Each structure stands twice: as structure tokens, then as C-alpha cells.
Structure 1
């Protein structure tokens, strides 16, 4: 960088009636090379005054903004060098696109209210003030906010002083430590808060009026996490306060602004009476994720966005680790494997995936990599690395990295070097095989007596010679009831001798490695027996059938083999294996929905689900495990959609009762029961659910009814629900939800694509360009299309460009081809059988 910022002195005055703001700033900077142009990042701002001083003298300057390049160019009458100040005044818009400095609308006691808040990651601080808007340009910030007297103002640091001037109050905040622009926060609104302390640190949960009572769970957890992270990292939390702020309109889930973390309301507010078990768990995970960022990301920041994955996957990995410490009964690592690993492998077995460490040039490209590769695959690789070097070495390396780079920027390589030094192991060469190339390996194992022959190759769901390259350093671990052997598998093939009298084994023991395994027939037969007798750990029981199912999708295995193997899970008692076998059987049935062989698959699925429901019962019990609540709702709703008479009858009975007495159903079952009512319902049911949606008090409750509204069989009613999602009744941040739910409904394929084409321009306007939710909407097309529509879909996106979704578009087309081929193979297999 030719000019290095040192300090920004910023003042903002938002106007929540006109939805504009005015601002002024004085930037002190150091000009390293003599030049006569200053270029800053700047978007959607009107510059009203510009004064540049060099060596204390004013230099004549003429500012010009370039909207397309998002920059402000200041031409100077002479060359400058050394210490300079840039004094700017500007005006901007409080937009409703959920990025930059934006407005959020909510209703309180029947009155419409507004608040102003910010979302600057990745590159939207430039919409609030001209700056060098990249992670490496760290500086200190002195922020002031002028607001109407009825409002409170919030920023990263505590209020240093405030003063009333007529109808307004001016807030001055303490100076920040050095920090990147994407972590700056500004908030103005009618807030209330719960306050707690951890040592000298003030910690608050901040909400719109009337909601603070739902912040208790989050406040208590926030306090515990702050202390635990300080201990683990060996570095004190660097700021005097931490605010957790609930924002009514928010595009992401949460954002780790330093000292002022923002959240969607549904991810911070917990009401034991109306919230579900799933919500409680999700709140805990996200708070933990964002607090981990206060060190990893905020104190030490990536040099450039290509290392974004490290920020995110690290926070995902740590979040799981710490919530698991407080709630071991939640079985969180197993859930991590079911959710994060499944989602990551699903995306990473496409040709159109990308390496974790991906080149990023422009801000628009950054938005595209906030995906399952950056969060979930990255988290799995860290879990694999920690297992490979051992937990103490992992922590030791991490502490060294954080203390070496605090208040600075670092590259991923710096972390691998630190962990490599701590463990004296080849960390860098091992880990880089997982970061620099796309995809992951399939390890094929053939047994000959006591010798295992192993081969590795890239695993793809749509096999393709052009994409077969790849060689990984695989930490390979074999085990049965415990680990028997551990090797680093770095070549195309190798042989391993098993210890004498080995009764059987699992490869990738504990599923620590990010790879799939294909066993020969003999080994699979042994494994089926070992699963049935529960002689191997639950996570490995999960993994064997998880790999087997995936091999059916890629055409390496027969579906009937999977169905046959699933018999071994009939008496399964672990959440992990049960839920995944259930998911896989359900997905086979819904794929075969209109086919003559659907009945045969339904037989397996219904049997399996009935057994689970028989064990769980309909009503929550005191003795329930945490995961029982997650499994029960899923089981009931799938049986309802497989038209199981007993379940349907019971669900409809409970629904009728629920309409009269809303507290008669546990929050964990409301969406399932309402969905079954919709599945069997008509226009009257539709208006009942719409009314429930409109009258629901919390956003969490609203979303349950919105989900249920997408479960009708009647196409007209599904279109009605989709149209409803376009009205002002549904916030743009939730727009993707009805689309994804209709896509998952087997009757949705008749209506969704037609509806999307018709409403694309409206959706585009409502969700807003560059909104990360757009990728979810594009991805949902994969569930409702087949490969005969490939050309039509391509043409549609050519005519309706949606920047920031190009990668998702090609992934979606690939998924459509994979699904279509899989269905054709199933037809052949069941016809011949």
C-alpha cells in the first residue's frame, strides 16, 4: 500500500425519517511514496467537501467519485509525501439492502419503527465512509454519532461522553485498538439491554424494546464463553465491553464486529416457553462462533480474503469445541459430522467445487466464497489436523500464532508453521494437499488374508476423466473398538499388514479424515455384522452407511445393497446413525416419488421410521436426550409425508386441538404437525396457517408457520404461499426459506421453476443484489429440475444475470445432472431386479 491509514476520526448523523445520513471524517495517514493522487474506496456517497493537508499546509485538491469502480479519486495540485490528513464531508443513503449503513424496520405495539445498523463485511464499509476498505489497512477509529434524543447509539467501544444539544444527543466513543474497516459497527435505535460483567468487562444483550427478557440465555452463555476463550487462547479479551445485538433485518446469521456482535433475532433471543430445542442449540453455536472471532479474525486478521475460510472454519470448529464443553449431552461433535461433513462433502464431490484456498480478486467474488467449503470443509480439515498432531500441540501452535500476530495480519501459512513447530510434524505439506486442490479422495480397500491393498483417487459424484487428478496426504487410521494403526497415506497406493487375529476393522476410524471409503464385498459383510452387534463406535456405524449411500449416488454401488445394509441399523440407538439412515431412506423414497418402485423403497423407510417413533413416543419426556427432540419432529413429519395413516390421524387430531389451545403442542413439534395438516389440507387450512403466521409474536414462531405453508400438495396453494412470501409480511432476509421448502416438497417441482421465472425480477429487487441468500435460491432449483431442462436454465440466467451466483449456477446444473442420472440408474436396477 502506498498510503497507510493511521487514524479515522468519524462523525455520523443518521436521519431515520428521510433514510439518509451525513458524515464527516478526518483521516491521518502516512504517504510512503510521493504522488499527486489519493485513491480511496467509496460507494453510494456524495462528497460535499474535501481538504487535504500535507506538512500542515492545505494542498489544492479536486475529488471525483467513480461508481463503477467504487472509488473516490482525489487529484492534487502538487506531489505529497509523509504525514497527511484528509478532511471529508459526505452524504449517504440508509439503504434497505442489509449492507453498508442500512435501516431496519420493525413493528412495536402496532407502530412502525426504524433503527440504523451496519454490515461491512466483506467490502461495504465504503458505503458508510470513504476508506481503504481491505483487511490489511488496519487503523484506529475515533467514532461519534449524533442521534435524536429518543435513540441510543452503539459502536465498537464504550461511550466516552455524551451531550444533549437541543433535540439531539452527541455520543463520543473511546478510541478503538487498531482494527480492519470490515469490523467497525454503528447502531442507532430505541434499544433496551440486559447487562452483566465478567471481571472488568461489561457484557450486554441489546434488543428492540420489549425483547430483553429473551436475552438471558445468551447473556449467561456469552459470559461463560468469554472466560473459556481467554483461558484457551492465553490472551485476555482485548476490549472493555462486548455487546450482543439483535437486529430485526439481517442478511447473514451474525457478524463478529469487534465488541459489537450483531445477530438475527432468531439467533439471539431464546424464550423457554416458545423456542425449540434446535433454536437453543443454534443460538449457542453461533454465539460461540462469533466470540471465537474476537481473537481469531479480529485481533489477528487475514492478510487478504483468500484466507477467509480460515477465519470462518476456525470459528466453526472452536464453536463446536466450546459448546460441547458446556453441553456434553448435546452430542455436538457427532452432529457436526452429520451436518458440516455431509454438507461439505456434498459440495466438494462436484467438479464445480473450489479449493479451500481460493484466489479472490474483487469484492463480488468474496461474497461467493462464504459457502460450505469455507465454513464446513475448513472446519473438518481443522478437526482432522487436530487429531493428527494431537490436541496439546494444536493449542500450543495456536497460542503462539495469536500472540505473534496480535493487532496485525497473518496468512494461513503462518498458522501451519506455528502448529508444525509445536508438533514437530510435517503439518504444512500435509494440510496443503487439502487446501490447494479441489475435492477429496475416495480410498478403496481390498483385503487379501491379513494384507489390505489401498488406493486413493479423487471422489466425484459425476465421474469425469478430466477431473480425476489429485493426490492427498491422508492421515489414515484403522480401528475396531479402539485404534489399531495410524499411517500417513501419501502415494497413489499402499499395502498394510493387519495384526494377527484381527476380527475386523473400520478405515478412517472415528471419521476424523475428510475422505470416503469403499470396502470390498467381503469386508462389507463383516462390517454389517459388526454394526448389528454395535461392536464399533456410533460414529463409525454412521460413516459406513454414509459412504455406501454416497457411492449409490455416484453409481459405484447398487441401491438394493444399501437397502439391504440398512437392516443392520434397525436396533440402532445412537442419534447420529439413526438420523442419517433415516435421511437416506427418506431421500431415496422422495427421489422415487412418482416411480412404480417407490412402494418397495417406502416399505424400508416406513418400517425404519415407525421403529424410531415407537421408541421416542409423541410427547417429550423428562428422560429425553437432547437429540431426541431433534429426531422426533423429523420422524413425525416424514411419516406424515409418506401418508402413514396412524401418524396422519394423530397429527390432525393434535392440529385441531392446537388451533383452540396453542400451548397444547411442544415448540419442537409445531412445524411438523402443521406441515402434516397442510399436506392433507385445503384452502381453509391455508388461511388458518396464514393467520397463525400473522399473529405469531416471535420471528422464530413465524418461520414455523411459513415452513408449514410450503407443505401443501395442491399446486394452487403452493403458488399462493410463494406469492405470500413476496409481500411485506415476509422480511427479505427470510425470502429464501419458502423457496427452499417448496423445492423440498415432492409436489413443488410442478410449480417452483415456473414461479421463479415469472417472479425473478421481483425477487431480485426484494432480496437485493449481492445478497448471500441469493445463492440458496439458485441452489434450490436442483431439487425441482431434471437434465432435460439444462439448456432452458442456462438461457434463463444468461438473460437474467445475477452477479455473485455464477459459481452456484454451475454447481446447480451439475447437481441436476447427477440426480437425473441416479434416477435413471435406479429405474434400470429396479426394473431388472
Structure 2
């Protein structure tokens, strides 16, 4: 860049009646060469005046905005060089699209209220003020906000001075350190604060009026996390304060603005009386993720968005590590493997996946890579790397990286160099095989006595020779009760000799590596016995059947083999293996829902779930493990949808009691019980659930009832739920929920696609063009379509372009083909049985 900013002096005055704002800006700029044109980013802003000063003189200037390029171009009457200042006055809109400087609407005591807040990542700071809107253009900021007296204002730094003038107050905030535009925050509203301290740092939970009591859990956790991260990174938290802000309308889950983190209300506010176990865990994980960013991302920032994955996956990985320190009983690393690894492998076994390290040019392309590859696969690869170099070396390399690049920008390579130096291991060459190429390997193992023949190839669910290339540096570990061998496997094939008298082994021991394993029949027979006797650790019991199930979907294994193998898990006592076997059996049942052979699958599935429920019982107990609550609600709702008579009867009874006394159900059971009521219900049930939704006080409770309203068998009622989701009673940020739930309902498959086609323009308007949630809506089509509809779906998106979802569209079509092929293979297998 020939011209770069060094400081922004900004004053904003939002008007929450007209939904506009005015801004004054003085940018101190350094021109490295002599220039007569200055270009910066600017979108949806009206420039009222523009003055450029250089060397004490006013330089003649004419500003021009280009909406398409999102640019402000200032032509100068003469060439200038060195330092200058640009003085701008501008006006903008407080939009309702949840990006840039926007308005958020909420109800309080029956009154409609508004607040103003910002979301600038990736490239939307330009909608609030003209700027150089990219991560590398770091500058300092002096921010002021003028607000009506009934409001308070928040920014990244503490208030330096505030002064009343008539019915308004001017807030001047302290100068920020060097920071990227996407991390700046502005907030104006009728806020309430819950305040605490961690050492010298002031921490606050910020909410709309009447909600601070639900901020206690988050405040306490925030304090603990801040001090723990300071210790781990060896660097003090760089700002004087940290705000955790609950925003009623918010597209993402949370955003790591420096010193002013924003959250959806459901991800920050915890009420022990009404919140579920899952909510508590999710709040902890997200707060931990965002606080990790204060160092990794904010203090040291990626040079460009192609390293976004490192930013996000690192925060995901650290979040799990630190919450696990405080709540070891939550079994979080095992859950990480079940959620992050499963989701990432599901996406990464498609031909239409992308490498972790991906080239991005435009803001729309940046939005496309906020996906499971950037967050989840990245997190798994970091976990694999930490295991490969050892935890102490990983931490040492990390500390060095953060202290070398603080207040600057860095590339992924800088981190690999630091960890490579600390560990004296070939980190770069190993990790690049996982970052630069798409997909991941399948390791095939054949045993002959004590000799193992091992091969690797790219794993695809839809085989295709054009995409089958790839060679990875695989940390290959074998073990039984402990690790017995460990090598870096980076050729197409190799041989390994097992120690004498090995009675059996599992590969990818501890499931630290991001790859699947295919064993020969003999090894599988041994493994079935070892699983049954629990001779291998829980995570490996999970992995063996998880790989086997995936190989059924890709057509490399028979479903009956999987069903037979699942018998070994009948007395499984670990959450991880139980929940995954249960998921896999349920998914087979729902795939075969309309088929003649469904009974054979149902008998395996229903027996497995009944065993889980009889072990756990219906009511939460004092002696419950954290994960029991998660498993219990899954078992109840699955049995309800498989029409288990006794579960149905108990659930309906509990539902009737719940309608009379809402406190009679534990928060973890409300959604499963209400869904079973819907599954067996009629329009009366629909109205009851809708009323429960409308009268709920918290967003978390509302979403439970909205979820339950997607559980009907009656297609007319499902269509009613979808129509309801289009009304003003459902926030645009929650639009994807009913669509995803109805896609997963076996009775939703006939109605969802016609409804989406009919309402696409409305949805587009409601959710907002370019909103990342659109990808979830597009992806849900895979649940309700078969491959005979491929052309129709392609044609539909050609006529209704939805930018930012192009990659998801391709992935969705591929998933539809995989699902259809899998069903055909099952039909053949069970017909011949």
C-alpha cells in the first residue's frame, strides 16, 4: 500500500429513531510515495465533506464513491508525500442486516426498544466509516460517541471523559493500541452492567435491562479464563478492560472485538432454573474461544484472510483445552472428537471440499470459508500437531510467536517456524500436507502374522479417480492399552513389524490423527472382541465403529457388518462411543424409513436406545455425569420418533403435566418431551406449542418450542411451522433452525423443497443477502432431496443466485448423490439377505 493510516480520530452520533448515524473522521495517513489519488474502502456511506491537509496546507480534493467497488477515491489537486490528514464528514444507515453499524430490536415490558451495535468482520467496517478495511492496515483509534442521555455507549477502550450537553452525552474513549479495522466496536443502548475484576482488568457482562442476573456464570468464567490465558501465553492481557456484551440480534455466535466481545444472548446468559446442560457447556466454550482471540488474532493478526482458519481453529482448539481444565468432568476432548472431527470429516470427504489454506480475494469469498474446514478440521490438525511435537514444545513455540509479532501481522508459516524451532522437528513439511491439499487419507491395514502392510490414499465418499490423488505425512501410532509404535508415514505404503505376542492393536491410537482406518476382516474380528472386553480406550472404541460406519456410506463396507459389529457396544459405558453408535443406528433407521427392510434395522436401533434409557432412567439424578443429561434427552426423543409405546405414553403424560405446571420438567427434557407430543399431536398441539413459544421469556426457551414445532408427522402442520418462521415473531438470526429441523424430520421431505422454492425471495430478504446462515439453509436441502432432483436444484439456483453459497450448493448436490447411492446399495444388500 502506497498510503497507510496511522491513526483514526472518529466521532459517531447514531439516531435510534431515524436509524441513521453521522460521523466525523480525521485520518492521519502516511504516503510512502508521492501520490495524487488516495483510495480507501467505503460502502453505503454518503460523504458530506472532505478536506485533505499536508504540510500545514489545505490540498484541493474531490471525493467520489464507487458502490460496486466499495471504494472512496479522493483526487488531489497536487502530488503529496509523507504525512497528511484527511478530514471527512459522512452519513450512514443503521441497517437491520446484522452487519456494519446496525440496529437491534428487542421487547421490554411490552415496549419495542432499539440499540445500535457493530459487526465488522470480515469486511464491513467500511459501512461505518471510510477506512483501509483489511487486517494488515493496523492503526490506533481515538473514538467518541454522542448518545442520548438515556443510553450509554461502549467501545473497545474504557471511557476517558464523558460530558453532558443538553439531552445528549459525549463519550470520549481512551486511545486503542494498534489494531485492525475488523476488531473495532461501537455500541449504544439502554445497557445494564455486571462488573468484576481479574487482577487490574475490569470485566463486565453487558445486557439489556433486567438481564444482568443471568450474567453471573459468564462473569466468573471470564475472570478465570483471562488469568489462565495470561499465564499460558506469558503475556498480560493488553487492554485495561474486557466487556462481554449480549446482543439480541446477532448473525454469528459471537465476535472477538478487542476488549468488547459481542454474543448472541443465548450464548452469554445462563439461568440455572431454565437453561439446559448443553447451553451451559456451549456458553463456556464460546467465551473461552473469544478470549483466546484477544491474543491470537487481535494482538497478533493474520496478514490476510487466507489464514483465517488459523485464527479460528486455534481459538476452537484452545477453548476446548481451557474449558477442559476447569470442567474435567465434562469430557470435552471426547466431545470435541465427536463434534468437530465428525463434522469436519463429513465435509472433507467430499470432492467439493477445499484445502484449509485457501486463496481468497473478495469479501464474499471470505464469508464462504467460515466453515467446518476452517474451524473444525483446523482444530483437529492443531491437536494432531500438538500431539506430534509434544505439549511443552507446542506452548514454547506459541509463546515465541506471540511475543515476536505482537501488535503486528503474521503468516501461518511464522507459527510453524516457531514450533519447528522449539521442537527441532520437521513441522513445516509435515503440516503443509494437511493444509495445502484438500481432503484427508484413509489408511488401509492388512495383517500377516506379526507383519502389517499399510497403504494410504485419499478418502472420498463418492469415488472419483480425478480427485483421488494426495499424499500425507501421517503421524501413525498403534496401541492397545498403551501406545506400542509411532512413525511418520509419508509414503504410499510401508510395512510395520508388531512386537512379539501382540494380541491386537488399534491404529490412530487415541484418535489424534485426522484420518480414517480400514482394517482387514481378521483385524476387525479381533477388534470386536477387544471392544466388547473394553481392552482399548473409549476414544478408540468410538473410532473403530465410526470409521466402519463411514465406510458403509462410501460403499466399501456392508451395513449388516456394521450392525453386527455394533453388538459389541451393547454394554458400552463411555458417552463418546454410546452416543456415536446411537447416532449411526438412528441415521440408518431414518434413511430406511420408507423401505421394506426398515424392521431389521429398527430392531437393532430400538434395542440399543432402550438399553441406554434403562441405564439412565427418565429423571436427572444427583449422581449423573454431565454427559448423561445430553445422552438421556437424545435417547428419549429418538425412541419417541421410533414409536416406542412406553416412551410415547410417558412422554405424553409428562407433556400434559408440563402444560399445567411448567416447572415439572427439567430444562434438559423440555424439547424432547414437546417434540414427542408434536410427533403424536394435531393442530391443538400446534397451538399449544406456538403459545408456549410466544410467552417464553428467554430466547433459549423460545428456540426449544420452535424446535418442537418441527416434530409433527402432519405435513400441513409442518408447513404451518415454516410459514410461522417467516413472521416477525421469529428473528432472522433463527430462520435456519426450523428449516434444518424439518429437513431432518422424515415427514418433512415432501414439503420442504417446494416451500423453499416458493418462499426463497422472502427468505432472502429476511435472512439478508450474504448472511452466513444462508449456507445452513442451502445445506439442509440434502436432507430432503434425492439425485433425481439434481437438475431441478441446479436450475433453481441458476435462476435465484445466492452469493456466498456457491460452494455449499455444490457440496449439497454431492451429498444428495451420496445419500441416494447409499440407499440403493442398502436396498440391494437387504433384498439379497
TM range (shorter): over 0.9
- Alpha-carbon distance, 1:199 to partner: 1.1
Q: Which residue of 2 aligns with 1:261?
A: 261
SS in 1 for 2:668: coil
Q: Which residue of 1 aligns with 2:484?
A: 484
- Alpha-carbon distance, 1:434 to partner: 0.0
- Pairs within 5 Å for 1:760-779: 760-779=760-779
Q: Which residue of 2 aligns with 1:87?
A: 87
* 1:112 equivalent in alignment to 2:112: yes
Q: Which residue of 2 aligns with 1:25?
A: 25
Q: Which residue of 2 aligns with 1:338?
A: 338
Alignment deviations for residues 354-405 of structure 1 (CA, whole Å, 9 cap, x no partner): 0000000000000000000000000000000000000000000000000000
- Distance between the aligned counterparts of 1:719 and 1:269, measured in 2? 32
* 1:194 equivalent in alignment to 2:194: yes
- Distance between the aligned counterparts of 1:762 and 1:36, measured in 2? 46
- Distance between the aligned counterparts of 1:448 and 1:259, measured in 2? 59
Q: Which residue of 2 aligns with 1:513?
A: 513
- Pairs within 5 Å for 1:392-407: 392-407=392-407
SS in 1 for 2:381: helix
SS in 1 for 2:399: helix
Q: Which residue of 1 aligns with 2:674?
A: 674
* 1:696 equivalent in alignment to 2:696: yes
TM-score between both structures, scaled by the size of structure 1:
1.00
Alignment deviations for residues 138-196 of structure 1 (CA, whole Å, 9 cap, x no partner): 00000000000000000000000000000100000000000000000000000001000
Alignment deviations for residues 400-453 of structure 1 (CA, whole Å, 9 cap, x no partner): 000000000000000000000000000000000000000000000000110000
- Distance between the aligned counterparts of 1:42 and 1:592, measured in 2? 53
- Distance between the aligned counterparts of 1:29 and 1:71, measured in 2? 17
- Distance between the aligned counterparts of 2:592 and 2:75, measured in 1? 66
Q: Which residue of 2 aligns with 1:13?
A: 13
- Pairs within 5 Å for 1:749-760: 749-760=749-760
- Distance between the aligned counterparts of 2:328 and 2:200, measured in 1? 29
- Pairs within 5 Å for 1:145-224: 145-224=145-224
- Distance between the aligned counterparts of 2:608 and 2:519, measured in 1? 25
- Pairs within 5 Å for 1:545-694: 545-694=545-694
- Alpha-carbon distance, 1:811 to partner: 0.2
Q: Which residue of 2 aligns with 1:276?
A: 276
Q: Which residue of 2 aligns with 1:721?
A: 721
- Alpha-carbon distance, 1:829 to partner: 0.2
SS in 2 for 1:710: coil
Q: Which residue of 2 aligns with 1:452?
A: 452
- Alpha-carbon distance, 1:54 to partner: 1.4
- Alpha-carbon distance, 1:33 to partner: 1.1
Q: Mind listing any 5+ residue stretches in structure 1 that lack a counterpart?
A: none
* 1:737 equivalent in alignment to 2:737: yes
- Pairs within 5 Å for 1:315-464: 315-464=315-464
SS in 1 for 2:334: helix
- Distance between the aligned counterparts of 1:632 and 1:782, measured in 2? 28
Alignment deviations for residues 108-154 of structure 1 (CA, whole Å, 9 cap, x no partner): 00000000000000000000000000000000000000000000000
- Distance between the aligned counterparts of 2:148 and 2:552, measured in 1? 62
- Alpha-carbon distance, 1:240 to partner: 0.1
- Distance between the aligned counterparts of 1:56 and 1:335, measured in 2? 62
- Distance between the aligned counterparts of 1:753 and 1:73, measured in 2? 45
- Distance between the aligned counterparts of 2:590 and 2:671, measured in 1? 20
Alignment deviations for residues 215-236 of structure 1 (CA, whole Å, 9 cap, x no partner): 0000000000000000000000
- Distance between the aligned counterparts of 2:18 and 2:451, measured in 1? 76
- Alpha-carbon distance, 1:742 to partner: 0.3
SS in 2 for 1:669: helix
- Alpha-carbon distance, 1:56 to partner: 1.7
- Distance between the aligned counterparts of 1:4 and 1:273, measured in 2? 52
- Distance between the aligned counterparts of 1:770 and 1:413, measured in 2? 31
- Distance between the aligned counterparts of 2:525 and 2:231, measured in 1? 47
RMSD of the alignment, in Å? 0.3
SS in 2 for 1:668: helix
- Distance between the aligned counterparts of 2:633 and 2:612, measured in 1? 11
- Distance between the aligned counterparts of 1:613 and 1:182, measured in 2? 47
- Distance between the aligned counterparts of 1:504 and 1:97, measured in 2? 57
- Distance between the aligned counterparts of 1:133 and 1:61, measured in 2? 22
Q: Which residue of 2 aligns with 1:748?
A: 748
- Alpha-carbon distance, 1:351 to partner: 0.2
SS in 2 for 1:748: coil
- Distance between the aligned counterparts of 1:116 and 1:441, measured in 2? 47
- Distance between the aligned counterparts of 2:806 and 2:62, measured in 1? 38
- Distance between the aligned counterparts of 1:503 and 1:625, measured in 2? 33
SS in 1 for 2:350: coil
Q: Mind listing any 5+ residue stretches in structure 2 that lack a counterpart?
A: none
Q: Which residue of 1 aligns with 2:820?
A: 820
Tell me which stretches of 4 or more aligned residues in structure 1 moved more than 2 Å.
Answer: none
- Distance between the aligned counterparts of 2:386 and 2:198, measured in 1? 30
- Distance between the aligned counterparts of 2:54 and 2:462, measured in 1? 61
- Distance between the aligned counterparts of 2:200 and 2:559, measured in 1? 60
Alignment deviations for residues 696-737 of structure 1 (CA, whole Å, 9 cap, x no partner): 010000000000000000000000000000000000000000
Q: Which residue of 1 aligns with 2:294?
A: 294
Q: Which residue of 2 aligns with 1:46?
A: 46
- Distance between the aligned counterparts of 2:64 and 2:752, measured in 1? 46
- Distance between the aligned counterparts of 1:756 and 1:579, measured in 2? 32
- Alpha-carbon distance, 1:35 to partner: 1.3
SS in 2 for 1:757: helix
- Alpha-carbon distance, 1:4 to partner: 1.3
Q: Which residue of 1 aligns with 2:708?
A: 708
- Distance between the aligned counterparts of 1:456 and 1:33, measured in 2? 53
